[in-house]
Structures are given as structure tokens and as C-alpha cells.
Amino acid sequence: MPQPLQLEQFMQLVRQRNPHEPEFHQAVEEVAESLIPFINQHPRYLEHRILERMCEPDRAILFRVTWEDDAGEIHVNRGYRVQFNNSIGPYKGGLRFHPTVNLSVLKFLGFEQTFKNSLTDLPMGAGKGGSDFNPKGKSDREVMRFCQAFMSELYHYIGENVDIPAGDIGVGGREIAYLFGQYKRLTHEFAGVLTGKALEYGGSLVRLEATGYGVVYFLKNMLEFHRMETTGRRCVISGSGNVAIFAAEKAMQLGMRVLTLSDSGGFVHFKKGLTAEQLAFIKQLKMLHRGRISAVAEKYPEVEYHSGEKPWGIPCDAALPCATQNELDENDAKTLIAHGCQAVCEGANMPCTKAAIDLFLASAVLYAPGKASNAGGVAVSGLEMSQNSQRLSWSREELDAMLRTIMRKIHDKCVRYGQEGERVNYLKGANIAGFVKVADAMVAFGVM
Ligand code: NDP
Ligand code: 2IT
């Protein structure tokens, strides 16, 4: 029987085995801290070395992507797919196109995805992929040629029962369409091999909105559980992509006041709250024209633009970081707590640094980790897969009801495993609840 695990020793091993991967170390530590005491109380997980095995992806595929720009210049990018764990279903998770993409980032995302997908209760394993390609400033045709070149390598490794990618930062409907078209051309097969597709070729209603809506459903569950009102709450949101836009939309529908949105250039402050007209403008601006958030302040004089700043200094009741990893640090956490913020609900993956999370857990702030609160996107991806298998499409009402139910069940699992006296430690709850299903499957399979 192996010795009980010790966090410091365990993390030392993870750092040694995965040098120069700070984001991966951070994601593992966040999970190991709450899991190790639980595993030490459950010797079969210890005996089967489940945590050690879960920290090692099944495989990581790296490939060259060569493409030609509009001027005929040749470019070389790197493509990746990290197939993390398929114990409870085929690999499932997004593709990210962003210059900061590297193996550490994709391993952290794939690791997180393992727990998130398990929490949804749908049969989905975990993977993540992408490229250091920067879609900003590229023409449609350049993006198309890049996506086709990327899929020409990736298609060897994916399949509707093997690995089903979707979108993430820099990969939305346009990119999924180019990727899907190329997969179909190469394989002569019309298969549900990607999710986030448009409705015409096998997409699902509500997938577009699912992550953002799910974040706000989770926030509502968390507030209600603690006997707090949702209506009238002031909400600070970062990002202005897929997740942020639909988190803002749902927050407004539930009577919250959305005070900010942002992008990598700065944030916009809606002093009286974002209006429906402004949100419609932002959807066009961001989703169609790929513009900058500063354009909102140029169009609406009552909106203030803060160049180069993050939105966390605006006093609020709830903060929803929906842009990227490590966008909310210790100082931001101190500011939020000092301003009386009551809830932090992560839309992005790992947006809060470890020091920020530790401050939230030590304060009265309700803190929801992304693997629980942003699971709505992958959950509706799972429902898109079910519809593809059935050759049927479900209605918006049915899908929205399923999304709500899934988010409530995730919330309740966090409570079940994370209750500490009067408090709920949602991080611990999500980590343990997500772990158990995958771990039990791995134990059942034996040594592999
Ligand atoms: P999008 O590409 O649609 O939007 C990303 C947004 O975040 C943009 O506003 C972008 O600004 C901003 N952003 C990205 N990188 C940075 C950075 N380094 N610094 C500051 N701002 C940045 O992506 P999504 O909305 O899909 O994803 C946002 C987050 O949500 C990611 O963490 C993703 O992993 C996570 N997520 C996404 C899901 C989905 O279904 N799409 C599901 C679950 C989680 P700019 O345009 O200036 O770069
Ligand atoms: O981080 C995520 O959960 C996603 N980017 C969505 C993945 C998916 O397969 O829908």
C-alpha cells in the first residue's frame, strides 16, 4: 500500500516531471490541495495511484500547420491536441487559437476539462487543443486556409466516438464551419465530430449561449442557496467574447445590472447598467465585425472607456471573470472584497490566481470555480452530440431547461462535497465531485 500523499511532495514531482509548465502546475495544485485529504481517506484511490495517473495526459499530439496568407507569404504555426482522459467518454473539449497557446496552457485546460465534463454527468472524457495562430487582423480567407491546414493534420486523431473538439478563445462559429467542412471533405463522412456547429449542419440551439447563460444560472443557484436575491445585483464582467456576451444577456434577463465588459485593450463602464440596445450593438461589433470594445464608448457618450485597465475596481455585488486565465490577481481580489463583492463566479478557465482564490476562500465571498460554473458550454456540446447521434433536434425550451437542470445539479454536487459547517467550499466540492466518477471508472479498468 503506498504512503498517504503529501501536497508539497506531490507538487514537487509534478513540477519535476513537467518543467516550464506554470499554468499546468497551477491547475494541478488547485485540485490536489482539496483532493489529497479525500484520497488519503479512500485507500483504493491511493492504491491505484489515481491522482498520479490523472495528472498525465493519455497523449499529446503536436503538428506543424503551414498556410499561405493573402499576399502569398508562407507561415508556420504549431497545432496541438492534448487527449487527456477518456475514462468516462470520448475526449471532449475546445480548440483555442491565440498567440499564447503552448503545451502548458493546453495541459492545464485539458486537466480542468476532466473534472468539468465529469460534473455535467454526461458521458464525456476530456481533451483540449489549438494553435499559436493569431486570428486577429487576418482576412476570412486566411482564417479559412489556416483552419483547413489545421484540420488536414487533426483529422487523423479525432472522430465522433474518439475525440470531439469545439470552440474556445479565437474559435467560434466561423472557424468551426471551416474545420467541419474540411473534415467532411477529407473523410467523406458527415459526422458529429465537432460541436458548436451552425444549425444548418447539425448544430444545437442554445450552444452559442450555453456557457454564459450557465454561468449566470450557477450564480443564481449559489445566491439562492445562501438566501440572497439575484434581482438588482450589480455585476462586473470581463471579456466581450462568447462567454461574456451571453453572461451579460442572461444577467440582464434576470434583472441584474451589468456595469462592465472588456477586452485585452481595456474595459467599458456602463454607469447606469448595460442596455438592450448597447448589448445588440456589442454582439454585432464583436461577433460580426471583430471590433474593439472601445468602439462602444465612441458610439455611446454615456459609456466610459478605461484603456489598459481591468474592471475589478468598479464596486459590485458579483464579479464574473469571462476573458482568460490569471486575469484576476491578489490585488484585484482585495479590491473586490473591500468593495463588499458577495460572489465571484468564473466564466473563463482559471481566471483567478491561486492567491486571489485563497483570499476569497478566507473571506465571506462565495467563490465558484470555472470547472463548475462554466460547464454549461460543454454540457450543451454533449447535448449536441446526443442530437447528432439521434439524427434529431430538440427545441430551445427543452435545451434551456436541460441546461438549467445540469447547472443546478452541479451546484448541488458542490454543496454535497464542499459543505464545511455553515460554509460551502465550492472549489473543494467541484474537485471531489468531478474526481469520483472518473476515478471509479479508472479503478474499474484495472492497471492501464
Ligand atoms: P472569445 O475568443 O469569444 O473571447 C475572449 C475574450 O477574452 C475577448 O474579449 C478577448 O479580448 C479576451 N481575452 C482573451 N485573451 C485575453 C488576454 N490574454 N488578456 C485580456 N483579455 C483577453 O473566447 P470565449 O468567450 O469563448 O472564452 C473566454 C473564456 O471562457 C476562456 O477562458 C475560455 O477557455 C472559457 N470558456 C469558454 C467556453 C466556450 O464555450 N466558448 C466554455 C467554457 C469556458 P481580445 O479580443 O482583446 O483578445
Ligand atoms: O472550456 C470549455 O469547456 C470549452 N471551451 C467548451 C468545450 C466544448 O467541448 O464545448
For 368-419, write each residue's pLDDT tens digit: 999 999 999 999 999 999 999 999 999 999 999 999 999 999 999 999 999 9
Cα separation, 133 vs 209, in Å, equals 25
* Contact assessment for residue 81 and residue 168, using Cβ atoms and an 8 Å cutoff: no
pLDDT at residue 7 in the model: 98
CB of 94 sitting under 6 A from ligand 2: yes
Letter string b/e over residues 167-183, b meaning 16 or more CB atoms within 10 A of that residue's CB: bbbbbbbbbbbbbbebb
Torsion-angle region of 161 (φ positive above 0: left; ψ -120 to 50: alpha; else: beta): alpha
Question: Which residues, other chains included, contact 299 with Cβ-Cβ below 8 Å and sequence gap of 6+?
Answer: 281
Binned at pLDDT 50, 70 and 90, residue 317 comes out as very high
CB of 323 sitting under 6 A from ligand 1: yes
Binned at pLDDT 50, 70 and 90, residue 2 comes out as confident
For residue 223, how far is its CA from the centre of ligand 2 (angstroms)? 25
Mutate to test the pocket of ligand 1, among 169, 215, 296, 322 (most ligand atoms within 8 A of CB): 169
pTM to 2 decimal places: 0.98
CA dihedral 159, 447, 109, 428 (to 10 degrees): 130
The helix (H) or strand (E) run that includes residue 74 is strand 74-85
CB of 33 sitting under 6 A from ligand 1: no
Comparing CA positions, the residue from 326, 320, 327 lying closest to residue 342 is: 320
* Contact assessment for residue 99 and residue 384, using Cβ atoms and an 8 Å cutoff: no
Dump pLDDT digits (tens) for 224-273.
999 999 999 999 999 999 999 999 999 999 999 999 999 999 999 999 99
For domain 59-191, the CATH architecture is 3-Layer(aba) Sandwich (3.40)
For residue 93, how far is its CA from the centre of ligand 2 (angstroms)? 5
Give the CA count within 13 Å in the CB-facing half-sphere of 92: 29
For the segment 91-113, the average pLDDT, to the nearest whole number, is: 98
Mutate to test the pocket of ligand 1, among 290, 320, 324 (most ligand atoms within 8 A of CB): 324
Secondary structure (3-state) at 420: strand
For the segment 210-217, the average pLDDT, to the nearest whole number, is: 98
CB of 381 sitting under 6 A from ligand 2: yes
pLDDT at residue 34 in the model: 96
Could you state, in order of their start, the residue ranges of all structural domains in the chain? 59-191, 208-368
Establish whether domains 59-191 and 208-368 are of one fold: yes
91 DSSP assignment = E
Dump pLDDT digits (tens) for 318-342.
999 999 999 999 999 999 999 999 9
pLDDT at residue 199 in the model: 98
pLDDT at residue 87 in the model: 98
Secondary structure (3-state) at 259: strand
Cα separation, 33 vs 201, in Å, equals 43
User: Euclidean distance between the first and final Cα of the chain, in Å?
Assistant: 18
Dump pLDDT digits (tens) for 29-68.
999 999 999 999 999 999 999 999 999 999 999 999 999 9
CA-349 nearest atom, ligand 2? 1
Secondary structure (3-state) at 276: helix
Cα separation, 57 vs 27, in Å, equals 14
For the segment 183-192, the average pLDDT, to the nearest whole number, is: 98
C-alpha cell recorded at residue 291:
471590433
Cα separation, 149 vs 64, in Å, equals 9
pLDDT at residue 422 in the model: 87
Secondary structure (3-state) at 297: helix
C-alpha cell recorded at residue 162:
474518439
Cα separation, 430 vs 410, in Å, equals 8
**Residue 116 annotated to the active site:** no
55 DSSP assignment = T
CATH 3.40.50.970 fits 208-368, yes or no: no
pLDDT at residue 114 in the model: 98
Residue 1 has pLDDT above 90, yes or no: no
